[in-house]
């Protein structure tokens, strides 16, 4: 057998031996692909002793959803019971990614510590007389998770809806 053919065969084997594991690692590191969210319609209730997002034992509501490419979805959060009267409120936060690490749309703020640096305020205070309403989507499929702390001072109840528009 020709020496060049043997060297060529060895080179092909080496390339395949390196390329296949590399492709597997790259593909598996992307995480699971989320299916676009069609609709959400649920109510969540609870209370906290404080409103500090960074306090590890604070209950946080989370709403994960995925918007298909070239589509839009509308998220609405309405407070149906807010402790504190006219002074009661909670801030809304956004994570550009799909996070579902709690149960029944509730988690503890300490559960969010690994992604905390990627959670941003949307500069919106949700009072008992207001609703958070925002449209999400773009040219590529995108996932989002909205967070807010259950306010202190008594039970709070929020109605959350998401629909494609």
94 with 14, same domain? no
Tens of pLDDT along 90-131? 999 999 999 999 999 999 999 999 999 999 999 999 998 889
Question: In which domain, by residue range, is 12 found?
Answer: 1-31
Both 48 and 12 in a single domain?
no
- In this structure, the answer to whether residues 122 and 74 fall within a common structural domain is yes
Q: Assess whether 12 and 54 both reside in one domain.
A: no
Residues with Cβ within 8 Å of residue 6, at least 6 apart in sequence: none
Using DSSP bridges, classify how beta strands 89-95 and 142-149 pair: parallel, antiparallel or unpaired.
antiparallel
pLDDT digits (tens, 9 = 90+) for 22-41: 444 444 334 457 889 899 99
Rounded CA separation 23/21 (Å): 5
For position 129, what pLDDT does the model report? Answer: 81
Dihedral (Cα; 116, 62, 137, 131), 10-degree rounding = -120
What is the number of domains present in the chain? 2
Query: Which pTM does this prediction carry?
Result: 0.78
Which residues, 6+ apart, have CB-to-CB distance to 63 below 8 Å?
40, 75, 77, 105, 145, 146, 147, 160, 162
160 shares its domain with 92: yes
48 and 116 both lie in a single domain = yes
User: Quick one: 86 and 139 in the same domain?
Assistant: yes
Is there a single domain that holds both residue 1 and residue 61? no
Question: Rounded to the nearest 5°, which phi and psi values hold at 8?
Answer: -65, -40
């Amino acid at each position: 057998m020709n020496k060049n053919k043997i060297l060529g065969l060895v080179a092909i084997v080496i390339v395949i031996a390196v390329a296949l594991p590399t492709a597997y690692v790259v593909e598996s590191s992307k995480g699971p692909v989320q299916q676009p969210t069609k609709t959400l319609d649920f109510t969540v209730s609870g209370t906290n002793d404080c409103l500090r997002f960074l306090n590890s034992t604070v209950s946080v509501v989370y709403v994960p959803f995925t918007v298909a490419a070239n589509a839009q979805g509308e998220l609405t959060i309405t407070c149906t019971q807010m402790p504190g009267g006219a002074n009661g409120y909670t801030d809304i936060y956004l994570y550009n990614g799909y996070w579902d690490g709690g149960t029944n749309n509730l988690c503890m703020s300490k559960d969010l510590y690994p992604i905390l640096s990627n959670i941003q305020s949307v500069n919106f205070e949700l009072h008992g007389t207001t609703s958070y309403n925002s449209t999400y989507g773009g040219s590529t499929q995108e996932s989002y998770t909205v967070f807010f702390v259950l306010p202190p001072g008594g039970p709070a109840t929020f109605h959350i809806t998401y629909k494609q528009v």
